[in-house]
Amino acid sequence: ILYRQQREQLRATRSFMQESIEAIDSYLTQEDWRVKENANMGYSLQGLNNHIASNITSNYWLNKIYPESVAEAHKKGDYHIHDLGMLSVYCCGWDLKDLLLQGFTGAYGKVQSAPAKHFRTALGQMVNFFYTLQGEAAGAQAFASVDTLLAPFIRFDSLTYAEVKQSMQEFVFNMNVPTRVGFQTPFTNITLDMTVPQNMAHEGVIVGGVVKDATYAEFQAEMDMFNKAFCEVMMEGDASGRIFTFPIPTYNITSE
């Protein structure tokens, strides 16, 4: 019995090694359909590393987590289970208020930033937050009510429209740098309100981690500046005129 177990383990090891070699070859020759499954991922060394890791993680999902019937159905093509290459959750929504109150902190032994006092700093901390958390999930990272929460910074900084647009351009360009595993651009989403939501209208605004006396209802003009600048930057594209993929905007459409 012990001999048979040892032989089975040896065969399994040899099979795993062979599959690893085939995974590398199939990526280099681009014969595996998974090489082009994700349009957000470029053919690169990091793409190869991600391809190898994904093969191992997929096997873990199918052999250790999913029931055998589910795994077999996937293997036979009865249905497709997406993102098996990530042993993680899918998408995550985060509280931008918390970031504005606490600053970019919380990772032990890593750099910590105090709450943002200026518009550009708030945008920069959002970028750093997304860059950090995008490695912990398979899908998108998101913030809601971004225009509502950041509008007060524009007035407190006494920014002109040109300055707001310049800051927005920096933000959007930074959000489209391929920093994610596999030479991907971080998958990000921001929800924009366009008008101040009723449930936030009388809340004190947050600037520098401090709740001020002024309320969000007083900053509609700055929200309009924010949204105009964002839309213009997104439509203008990069230096070659290529449109920006991220962040994906979601607009809250209400009767107002």
Question: Are 216 and 151 within 8 A, CB to CB?
Answer: yes
CA distance 149 to 205: 7
Taking the CA atoms of 38, 144, 228 and 113 in sequence, report the sign of the dihedral they define.
negative
Give residue-wise pLDDT tens across range 96-122.
999 999 999 877 788 899 999 999 999
Q: Cis (ω within 30 of 0) for the bond into 115?
A: no
Looking at the 3D structure of the chain, how many domains does it have? 2
62 in the same domain as 114: no
Helix or strand (DSSP H, E) at 214: strand 210-215
Quote the pTM value: 0.82
Taking the CA atoms of 210, 216, 220 and 223 in sequence, report the sign of the dihedral they define.
positive
243 in the same domain as 210: yes
Q: Which amino acid is at 1?
A: I
Residue where a domain stops, chosen among 19, 42, 76: 76
Give residue-wise pLDDT tens across range 54-75.
888 888 888 889 999 999 999 8
Average pLDDT over residues 13-37: 71
181 in the same domain as 143: yes
Residue 146 included in any domain: yes
Q: Containing domain of residue 143, as a range?
A: 92-251
Residue 179 included in any domain: yes
Residue 226 included in any domain: yes
66 in the same domain as 124: no
168 in the same domain as 62: no
pLDDT at residue 226 in the model? 99
99 in the same domain as 67: no
Q: Which amino acid is at 20?
A: S
Surface-to-core class of residue 122, CB atoms within 10 Å of its CB (0-12 exposed, 13-18 middle, 19+ buried): buried
Helix or strand (DSSP H, E) at 141: strand 141-143
Residue where a domain stops, chosen among 25, 42, 76: 76
247 in the same domain as 130: yes
128 in the same domain as 44: no
Residue where a domain stops, chosen among 23, 42, 76: 76
Residue 233 included in any domain: yes
Residue 83 included in any domain: no
Residue 62 included in any domain: yes
113 in the same domain as 234: yes
pLDDT at residue 22 in the model? 75
Residue that wins the pLDDT comparison between 185 and 161: 161
Question: Are 237 and 244 within 8 A, CB to CB?
Answer: yes
Asked whether the predicted pLDDT for residue 244 surpasses 70, the reply is yes
Residue that wins the pLDDT comparison between 36 and 88: 88
159 in the same domain as 61: no
CA distance 61 to 15: 18
99 in the same domain as 54: no
Residue 189 included in any domain: yes
Give residue-wise pLDDT tens across range 177-230.
987 776 678 899 999 999 999 999 999 999 999 999 999 999 999 999 999 999
226 in the same domain as 145: yes
Give CA torsion, residues 212, 126, 128, 90, to 10 deg. Answer: 130
Residue 86 included in any domain: no
